[in-house]
Structure 1
Amino acid sequence: MYPALPHRTFPVDRISDAFGVLRHSRHIGKIVITFEEAPQAVAEPRPPALDPDGTYLITGGTSGLGAATVDWLAARGAKHIALVGRGALVAPDHPSVTITTYAADVSDESAMRQVIADMDHPLRGVVHAANLLAD
């Protein structure tokens, strides 16, 4: 009969600790993750606290994910939203939010610097929702 290889066990709830041991090479043998105990329930993360005096920039914000993001940000307290797209933009109507549109290519650094410089309120967040569907 052979002896067991050197190992160290971690319950699934402490998997980040196990990776820390691996990352810092503080082990000999194997690291084993066990599922003998049920994982503890983890509280849902709180939604971010948004600055009502800041601007939140959304690329591709006139439809799809971008438009849904306007609603999501507004529901969490955003008051100023900037939409950026390559073509002429029509801002979605939202009663509780000031929406400003900018025609710019997000891959053009100088154009984006100008967009940020033109904002009336400080930039507090960016959601990149632009896409190009080419079927």
Structure 2
Amino acid sequence: WRPSGTVLVTGGTGALGGHVARWLAGAGAEHLVLAGRRGLEAPGAVELREELAGSGVRVSVVACDVADRDALAALLEEHPVDAVFHTAGVLDDGVLEALTPERFETVFRAKVRSALNLHELVGDVSAFVLFSS
């Protein structure tokens, strides 16, 4: 598989998302949509956008919580995508006995609800890649 067209990277301004975005840019993606809850307000987002744009790739950094179905639908309407890389997640390490329903929901929302929304809203794409946490 080789990336082409528009590729959505959720968690796109995070460490893993940035690594994936750099790979996609070097492998042929024409347009990267880097989605994260903070958009350009995320640490390093402006620098990442400039770095990727400097390699000749069109880059859109957007603030979007992909666990919010309506927000994701609006993003996909504005930026139809050809492939998806779901790298978003929330880190909440702890021992099993310390797991509360609230902590579980925070992590579940970022990974699983977001993945389900992507699955239901994206449509046919050339790649649909989910990163585990």
Same fold (TM over 0.5): yes
Post-superposition CA distance 1:4-34 (Å, at most 9, x none): xxxxxxxxxxxxxxxxxxxxxxxxxxxxxxx
Q: Are the counterparts in 1 of residues 11 and 17 from structure 2 also a CA contact under 8 Å?
A: yes
Corresponding residue for 2:62? 102
TM-score by length of 1: 0.57
C-alpha displacement at 1:134, in angstroms? 2.5
Structure with higher strand content? 1
Q: CA deviation at 1:97?
A: 1.1
Which structure's residues are more often helix, by fraction? 2
- The alpha carbon displacement at 1:128 in A equals 0.5
- Gaps of at least 5 residues in structure 2 are 94-133
Structure 1 outlier segments of 4+, above 6 Å: none
Distance 1:117 1:133 in 2: 29
1:73 aligns with 2:24: yes
The percent identity for this pair of structures is 37
Partner of 2:87: 129
Structure 1 alignment gaps of length 5 or more: 1-47
The total of aligned residue pairs comes to 84
Distance 1:110 1:123 in 2: 16
Higher relative contact order (CA 8 A, sep 6+): 2
Partners of 1:49 and 1:83 lie apart in 2 by 18
Distance 1:50 1:99 in 2: 14
RMSD between superposed Cα atoms in Å: 1.4
The alignment's TM-score, normalised by the length of structure 2, stands at 0.58
Larger Rg: 1
